[in-house]
Amino acid sequence: MSREYDERTTTFSPEGRLYQVEYAMEAINNAPCAIGILTKEGIAFGIEKKIISKLLAKIGESEKVYAIDNHIMCAVAGLTSDANILLQNARKNAQEYLYKYGQPKPVEELVEYICRIKHSYTQVGGLRPFGVSFLFAGWDKIHGYQLYHSDPSGNFSGWKAHAIGSNSTLARDMLKKDYKEEMTLEEAMMLEARVLFKTMDVSELSTDRMEFSVLRR
């Protein structure tokens, strides 16, 4: 039944759903899990690493966590090549702001900027949505530390703790139970490790399969 309405970005289903956007979200549910936790001291990302070939060379930055500007980093789940395009755009936009106004771009404005691009690919024919979700971690003078989540529809929202990627439902439940506002960064990373251990469903807790990143003012 749904088949008639799910091939084009520009078609609503009779229930008012945009199937292409929902399918793009599926691409994210198969990606490695990424967790972000907001603390008073800063923001910590905990990322699941696929068992990847030892032949893979680490040339520049992490596989799944990218710097956008000095005060903003992000974790990615979904199609990496889609993410690259958006990140290159975001970096350029952040630099232009810095150059123009002499101060770093507020985090929320940068997130909004990326989401506007994402959205534009969900309403015009002959395009497909970006198959990628982000967790953005940033700090600015207006709101201090901030953690945002954005999905393929171009939606975004602020979180204290959030998870994207495979088994993210389970991860979110654990976060909801164990998150505490007064956590230190170290406790946050400990929590992330525990959550990843569960979502990855492995018998032994090994740091080989995890990666942690921290954003501090």
Q: What angle do CA 170, 173, 177 make, to 5 degrees?
A: 140
Q: From 146, 171, 154, select the one nearest 162 (Cα to Cα).
A: 171
Contacts (CB under 8 A) with its own copies, residues 187-216:
none
> Does residue 56 belong to the site contacting its own copies (CB under 8 A)?
yes
User: Which one of residues 92, 176, 180, 216 is an interface residue with its own copies (CB under 8 A)?
Assistant: 176
In the bound complex, what is the minimum distance in angstroms from residue 47's beta carbon to its own copies?
16
CB nearer its own copies, residue 49 or residue 128? 128
Could you say which DSSP state residue 3 is in? G
**Residue 96 and residue 102: Cα distance in Å, rounded?**
9
Q: What angle do CA 137, 94, 45 make, to 5 degrees?
A: 15
The window from 64-72, 92-100, 173-181, 189-197 that contacts its own copies (CB under 8 A) reads 173-181
The window from 47-55, 97-105, 198-206, 209-217 that contacts its own copies (CB under 8 A) reads 47-55
Angle in degrees, 0-180, between the axes of helices 80-101 and 107-120, rounded to the nearest 10: 130
Spatial neighbors of 30 by CB under 8 A, at least 6 apart, are 166
User: Which one of residues 48, 69, 82, 192 is an interface residue with its own copies (CB under 8 A)?
Assistant: 82
User: Which one of residues 32, 104, 154, 165 is an interface residue with its own copies (CB under 8 A)?
Assistant: 154
In the bound complex, what is the minimum distance in angstroms from residue 139's beta carbon to its own copies?
12
The window from 94-102, 168-176, 182-190, 199-207 that contacts its own copies (CB under 8 A) reads 168-176
CB nearer its own copies, residue 16 or residue 102? 16
- Tokens for 118, please give them: 């994402």
- How far, in Å, are 59, 73, 94 from residue 161 at the CA level? 30, 15, 25
**Residue 14 and residue 24: Cα distance in Å, rounded?**
19
The b-or-e profile of 142-160 (16+ CB within 10 A means b, else e) is eeebbbbbbbbbbebeebb
In the bound complex, what is the minimum distance in angstroms from residue 27's beta carbon to its own copies?
3
Binding mask 103-142 for its own copies (x = CB under 8 A): -----x---x--xx-xxxxxxxxxxxxxx-----------
**Residue 34 and residue 211: Cα distance in Å, rounded?**
10
Give the total of residues touching its own copies (CB under 8 A).
76
CB nearer its own copies, residue 203 or residue 217? 217
In the bound complex, what is the minimum distance in angstroms from residue 181's beta carbon to its own copies?
10
